[in-house]
Amino acid sequence: MQGAFMVNGLSDTSSRHVRSAHANGADGASGATSLTRRRFGAALLAVAVTATLAAPPARAQSAPPAVVDFDWVDPARSRPVPARLHWPADVAPGSRVPLIVFSHGLGGSRRGYSYLGRYWSARGVASLHVQHAGSDSSLWAGNPLAVVDRLQRAARESEALARALDLRFALDRMLSSPHGAHVDRRRIMAAGHSYGANTALVAVGARVMRDGKWVEARDPRFAAAIVISAPPFYGEPDLASVLSRITVPTLHVTATKDVIQIPGYYSPAADRLEVFNAIATPRKLLAVFEGGSHSIFTDRSFTGGPALNPKVKLATAELTLAFLDLVFDGNGATLARWNVTWQPMLASAPGAAPSPLPVAQSRRVAQGVATGLVPSP
């Protein structure tokens, strides 16, 4: 695990597991306060002290989690917003669960990233996987000679903004549904992979200036973000300015061979690190796996290597819940256990602060040289 996660004001709320509505009610809200630097320092100390301790087992569920598809339409934009909900089993009346709103990559759908949905819901965390019309799996249909044009249209700024508005609309619908009464509204996170990671960043504050006005779609209901394999915001000379308004905690996940290469588009692995470095808040974590591929974080089974693929998926799923524990409970024990378990697969030792890479070094990584993506401590 790389990066810094020192904080002014992480919410001192519950852990990721289901909790009672009373605990999240008026008494709980009035009593919740921001973590001081001393308390968060203690949490980091706990990471070191408890590194060899076993984390408590996940909450057992007597029934399989539910999977529910929604075929929503946003009437204000005349835009379909399909979504798939992975819902935990055994949610007792009056209890509440965390919610992750997930955005797929270019050419994906609500059916994707099911390994994450299954893992989360089996451990008491709901996830809503939103499908983005215009940049979804429909891109691969039709004349193959026109696929480059379709991909370029899907990457337009208007579609990037529309995707973030999809998350807002889907969250509105989710919270107004019968399931919404069981969502802990203080533990809602945006998440995504690739183009979806950019969407999650826009949802938590990324913005660009156009014609003297900011183009943005920040939703203050998102308390944190999980950013998997994020491309840079292309055409923007000042990435730090684009990401300057992001203040919520963020988890960034990538791999040394996380290269994006599709018709008309190329992004080396070091671009993921540039996004991480450009976020000003120190409330961020970075994990870089050795090897892998860009698609290893999708449902595809063999990309990145048939042996490595399932391990990276499991490690990523475990890491996201360790992140929830740290952000919402100030509990670093799960993260400490994750560091010990998965250290052999990481690109460098835990705790090493990543630094910006020169372009030439970035190109070497993209060509398959694993060294140099993250400097050694």
pLDDT band at 142 (very low <50, low <70, confident <90, very high): confident
Q: How many CA atoms lie within 13 A of 198 on its CB side?
A: 22
Q: Report the candidate in 182, 47, 61, 195 with the shortest Cα–Cα distance to residue 119.
A: 61
pLDDT above 50: residue 367: no
Residue range 66-90, pLDDT digits in tens: 999 999 999 999 999 999 999 999 8
Residue 63 confidence (pLDDT) = 65
Percent of the chain's residues with pLDDT above 70? 75
List all residues 6 or more positions away from 377 whose beta carbon is below 8 Å from its beta carbon.
348, 349, 351, 352
Residue range 27-44, pLDDT digits in tens: 333 333 333 333 333 333
Q: Report the candidate in 195, 377, 192, 374 with the shortest Cα–Cα distance to residue 290.
A: 374
* Stated pTM of the model: 0.78
Report the greatest alpha carbon distance in the chain.
Answer: 60
Residue range 292-315, pLDDT digits in tens: 999 999 999 999 999 999 999 999
Q: How many helices (H) and strands (E) does the chain have?
A: 11, 13
Please report which helix (H) or strand (E) contains residue 286, including its range: strand 284-289
Structure tokens at 355: 């630094």
CA angle 34, 40, 42 (to 5 degrees): 135
Q: Report the candidate in 339, 341, 328, 338 with the shortest Cα–Cα distance to residue 17.
A: 328
Residue range 156-172, pLDDT digits in tens: 788 889 999 999 999 99
CA dihedral (267, 117, 189, 318) in degrees, to 10, reads -80
368 versus 79: which is more confidently predicted?
79
Q: Coil, strand, or helix at residue 188?
A: strand
